[in-house]
Amino acid sequence: MAKNRKIHSSNFVDYVRINCTSGDGGAGATHFRREKFVAKGGPDGGDGGRGGHIIIEAESQLWTLLHLKYKKHIRATHGKPGGKQCASGASGKDVVVKVPLGTVIKNADTGEFVCEITEPGERKILAEGGRGGLGNWHFKNSIQQTPRHSQPGTNGEEAWFILELKILADVGLVGFPNAGKSTLLSTVSAAKPEIANYAFTTLTPNLGIVSYHDEKSFVMADIPGIIEGASEGKGLGYQFLKHIERNSVLLFLIPADSDDHFKEFQILENELKQYSEELSHKERIVAISKADMLDQELMDEIAKTFPKNLPHIFFSSVSQLNLPALKDLIWNSLQTELEQDA
């Protein structure tokens, strides 16, 4: 992901249902060689062409499934029939459907997982084109010198698929509305998320590239705020919790003016756990935002409420307090996660 992205909420589509129909294979030909000085030419019927495939391809410059929202039916063309002189019919034209990185494809009828697209340029065949039929020259043998039959092509495939986008980012920002996630992202990257003092300012995920030492960088995602009960479908939380599944490290943002910092963390953590047990095993960092409102004594008191084995830090996006230290903490956590996966 080479660019920062702010996607307008009306253009952000992370779920579509599409129908894919691949092409039928062309029929093999039944034909015999006919030339002026060849009285009894043998069979020379060619093979039918393959039907067109429906292919999913990753496109690193796509950030939404909007282009598929109003294109529900995708069809490939049929293969052409075989010709004389063993000429094969032309194959049907493949249809390539481009999707963003992080797209998961499932069979809409069975719910069965089909594939996930995570690498630039990666391709998967969703619906395979029908096989072309064999021409009659294939069926000639010592007993049957003039076979008068050939194969029809096989039918293509038709199915409904669900395409679901899950944002690919190294760090996911987790917090209630107005925890300071958008402000942090805009401060440490070139992303320009909308910032205002009301709930759910962020209605779509925002991505930013955060520069680190020696030209290193990592991708941070600002996920729309969670409310208590989000895992049960309340508010906007459930709609966006799936985007956190892809993150290597979760950065929990708790505002300095919270009534109970550790309790707020526990509520957020419980929402993630209720949504997916796997989320509770990810690397976690707690960051107390707007820390320029606190003196050292208050910071010490708040720090005591968190377990010693849970990394935590106080920072301020406005005053730049501890921002370099926060980057260090995130980077080290990402390296730990990489080492564990190796």
- Tell me the pLDDT of the chain (342 aa) as tens digits: 344 444 444 556 788 999 999 999 999 999 998 877 666 778 999 999 999 999 999 998 887 888 898 889 999 999 999 999 999 999 999 999 999 888 999 999 999 999 999 898 999 999 999 999 999 999 998 888 889 999 999 999 999 999 998 877 889 888 887 788 888 988 888 655 444 444 444 456 777 888 888 778 888 888 776 665 555 555 454 566 777 777 889 999 999 999 999 999 998 888 888 878 777 788 899 999 999 999 999 999 999 999 989 999 999 998 999 999 999 999 999 888 777 665
Q: How many CA atoms lie within 13 A of 157 on its CB side?
A: 14
H or E segment and range at residue 287? strand 283-289
- Type of residue found at 81: P
316's CB contacts (< 8 A; 6+ apart) are 289, 290, 291, 292, 322, 323
Residue tagged 């409904």 (tokens): 160
* Residue 179 CB neighbour total at 10 angstroms: 24
Token output for 192: 């320009």
Per-position b or e across 293-304, b if 16+ CB within 10 A of its CB:
ebeeeeeeebee
Which residue in 47, 9, 17, 55 sits closest to 30, CA to CA?
Answer: 47
pTM as predicted: 0.68
Rounded Cα gap, residues 133 and 153, in angstroms: 4
Rounded Cα gap, residues 119 and 51, in angstroms: 27
The domains located in the chain, with CATH, are: 1-165 (2.70.210.12), 171-341 (3.40.50.300)
> By the 8 A CB rule, do 284 and 311 touch?
yes
Rounded Cα gap, residues 60 and 72, in angstroms: 22
| The pLDDT value given to residue 195 | 41
Rounded Cα gap, residues 173 and 121, in angstroms: 28
